[in-house]
């Protein structure tokens, strides 16, 4: 039988990994046998590879991890590249650069672009694009990324090109001196300008979501100010300013006061009267900070992308 550890860590090979199923594995499930033969990988990862048609049994593709084996079969695994390797690869992805100098890069992120590699998105990210655009940025932790926007949120982001700039920007974010202003279309009629001062933490049941959570249960202080810009049928166009920077902060805070973002698949609810939109209607429109080298106050502005402008135009004439 082939040594299952022989090729572990070698992701440059083009030939599939071939394994023989011992007779002692008769009656056992495919995922169980793979986990025993390839202990360097978790069973969840191996199950995913089976479902992704990367495993063959005697030359035939098998997509059911629970498939029972008889012993003596030949398994071949077209093992995909390691996620970490993909995450660190430069990719020629276009960037909408608003400003650039020797230590800063300010970009206008389009909706749909993932900022940092993670589960299900190990390539095609902003980080991959930065590694291509600025080769030396590989020496800066997280490729200079100091704050994030959700995949489907568009707008301005600052990236540090040097370690010194990154340290300075992180300190500014911690001191809450970085000014971040967003445009959002929310459900319902917001009656007056105001703010939401409610701690945010991981949802106690749905762990992939955030929620308003008391500080005694792990919530972190969060403050969002909002200002009414325009009224449309069944929704309101607002400007939101962040005093803190919690995950999903605007989405969680506006939903908590009964005005979730239009198109938000996580914190909103489908409603026949709301306009259809394929993502949360949220755009980071203004960014202000002190330049790490000169100390000069700098500010940039970016208008909403085409999809959000078209949404507002539809509502204008509804």
pLDDT score of 161:
97
At the topology level, CATH places domain 176-318 in: Pseudouridine synthase (3.30.2350)
Here the contacts of 40-43 (C-beta below 8 Å, separation 24 or greater) are 40/4, 40/5, 40/8, 40/9
pLDDT score of 3:
33
How confident is residue 234, by pLDDT bands cut at 50, 70 and 90? very high
Asked if residue 130 lies in contact with residue 145, where contact means CB atoms within 8 angstroms, the answer is: yes
The token pair at 240 is 């939101």
How confident is residue 7, by pLDDT bands cut at 50, 70 and 90? very low
The token pair at 293 is 């080298």
Please pick, among 10, 23, 96, 150, the residue that the annotation labels catalytic: 150
pLDDT score of 117:
81
CA distance 2 to 7: 10
How confident is residue 41, by pLDDT bands cut at 50, 70 and 90? confident
Among this protein's residues, is 264 annotated catalytic?
Answer: no
Higher pLDDT, 260 or 119: 260
CA-wise closest residue to 17 among 70, 68, 55, 64: 55
pLDDT score of 198:
98
Asked if residue 146 lies in contact with residue 255, where contact means CB atoms within 8 angstroms, the answer is: no
217 vs 202, 252, 253, CA distance in Å?
Answer: 10, 17, 17
Higher pLDDT, 41 or 114: 114
CA distance 77 to 184: 47
Q: For the chain, what percent of residues have pLDDT higher than 90?
A: 75
Q: What share of the chain is helix, strand, coil (3-state, %, to 5)?
A: 25, 30, 50
Q: Considering the domain 17-80 in this protein, what is its CATH number?
A: 3.10.290.10
Mean pLDDT of the chain: 90
Q: Which helix (H) or strand (E) holds 170?
A: helix 163-174
Q: Does the pLDDT at position 13 exceed 70?
A: no
In sequence order, the β-bridge partners of residue 297 are 290
Q: Does the pLDDT at position 311 exceed 90?
A: yes
Compute the average pLDDT of residues 177-196: 97
pLDDT score of 106:
98
pLDDT score of 6:
30
* Domain extent listing, the chain: 17-80, 83-175, 176-318
pLDDT score of 42:
74
Phi, psi (deg, nearest 5) at residue 164: -65, -40
Question: 83-175 and 176-318 share one CATH topology?
Answer: yes
Q: Does the pLDDT at position 10 exceed 70?
A: no
CA-wise closest residue to 246 among 290, 285, 197, 204: 197
Residue 8: count of CB within 10 angstroms of its CB: 14
Q: Does the pLDDT at position 52 exceed 90?
A: no
pLDDT in tens, 240-255: 999 999 999 999 999 9
Question: Could you confirm whether domain 83-175 is CATH 3.40.190.10?
Answer: no
pLDDT in tens, 75-112: 998 866 666 666 778 999 999 999 999 999 999 999 99
């Amino acid at each position: 039988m082939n040594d299952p550890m022989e090729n572990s860590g070698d992701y440059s090979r083009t030939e599939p990994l071939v394994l023989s199923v011992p007779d002692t594995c008769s009656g056992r499930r495919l995922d169980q046998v793979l986990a025993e033969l390839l202990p360097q990988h978790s069973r969840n990862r191996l199950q995913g590879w089976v479902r992704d048609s990367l495993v063959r049994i005697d030359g035939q593709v098998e997509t059911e991890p629970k498939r029972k084996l008889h012993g003596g079969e030949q398994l071949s695994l077209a093992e995909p590249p390691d996620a970490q390797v993909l995450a660190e690869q430069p990719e020629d992805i276009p960037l909408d650069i608003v400003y650039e100098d020797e230590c800063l890069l300010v970009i206008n992120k389009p909706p749909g672009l993932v900022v940092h590699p993670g589960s299900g998105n190990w390539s095609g990210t902003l980080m991959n694009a930065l590694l291509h655009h600025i080769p030396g940025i590989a020496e800066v932790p997280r490729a200079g990324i100091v704050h994030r926007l959700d995949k489907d949120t568009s707008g301005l982001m600052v990236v540090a090109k040097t370690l010194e700039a990154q340290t300075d920007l992180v300190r500014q974010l911690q001191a809450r001196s970085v000014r971040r202003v967003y445009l959002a279309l929310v459900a319902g009629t917001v009656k007056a300008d105001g703010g939401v001062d409610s701690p945010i933490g991981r949802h106690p049941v749905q762990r992939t979501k955030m929620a308003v959570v008391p500080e005694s249960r792990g919530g972190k202080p969060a403050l969002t100010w909002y200002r009414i810009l325009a009224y449309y049928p069944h929704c309101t166009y607002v400007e939101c300013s962040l005093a803190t920077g919690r995950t999903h902060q605007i989405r969680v805070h506006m939903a908590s006061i009964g005005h979730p973002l239009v198109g938000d698949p996580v914190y909103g609810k489908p409603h026949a009267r709301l306009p259809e939109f394929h993502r949360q209607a949220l755009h980071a429109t203004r960014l202000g900070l002190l330049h790490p080298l000169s100390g000069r106050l700098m500010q940039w502005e970016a208008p909403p992308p085409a999809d959000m402008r078209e949404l507002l135009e539809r509502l204008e004439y509804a």
